[in-house]
Amino acid sequence: MMPFPSASFGIAEAVATLHSQLTGCPNAVSQAAFERALQQEPPEVERMAAEFDRRRRLIVGGLNALPGVSCVMPKGAFYAFANVSGLLGRVWTHDGTALTLKSSVDAAAFLLEQARVAVVPGLDFGSDAHVRLSYATSEALIREGLARMSAAIKTLG
């Protein structure tokens, strides 16, 4: 490896020092402005939190109304973790083949194919008896998804 000429090295060293000061050590004015911003939560945050709470209550209530499904109220993020163990062991027909729901992966496939609702198998989150649903969408889409899931569950044998 060829060393930098001393003049180039001096420039690189100066740029590295400047970069370090600009990115690693915010100036006092920036720190004061950030502290002030943290003390005053914008009104949008409160409205957004209220909207997500409304959607959370809607999806959990709807999931708990589905036969074979239950869901506890989540305390964070924007996901519901629904217990679908009441659906396991039931049978659905796909392309003329009778399939038994044996896992969260099967339940996710069933809901995708029959209800056109995408959920994530709970297996990846530590429980094969659950599926994860996001409520980071509109109220109308949550209601539609719940209605589709209800109709699909009614087809299970």
Q: In this predicted model, what pLDDT tens digit does every residue of 114-151 receive, in sequence order?
A: 999 999 999 989 999 999 999 999 999 999 999 999 99
Residue 105: inside a domain: yes
Residues 30 and 60 in one domain: no
Q: Where are the alpha helices (DSSP H) in the chain?
A: 6-24, 28-39, 43-64, 104-110, 139-153
Residue 45 — very low, low, confident or very high, per pLDDT cuts 50/70/90? confident
Residues 123 and 49 in one domain: yes
* Residue 17: pLDDT over 80: no
* Residue 4: pLDDT over 90: no
Residue 52 — very low, low, confident or very high, per pLDDT cuts 50/70/90? very high
Residue 137 zone, left/alpha/beta (φ > 0; ψ -120 to 50; rest): beta
Mean confidence (pLDDT) of the chain:
88
Cα–Cα distance for residue pair 96/155, rounded to 1 Å: 14
Cα–Cα distance for residue pair 14/79, rounded to 1 Å: 48
Q: Average pLDDT in the 46-56 region? A: 91
Query: Using an 8 Å Cβ cutoff, are 86 and 67 in contact?
Result: yes
Residues 147 and 75 in one domain: yes
CATH number at residue 91: 3.90.1150.10
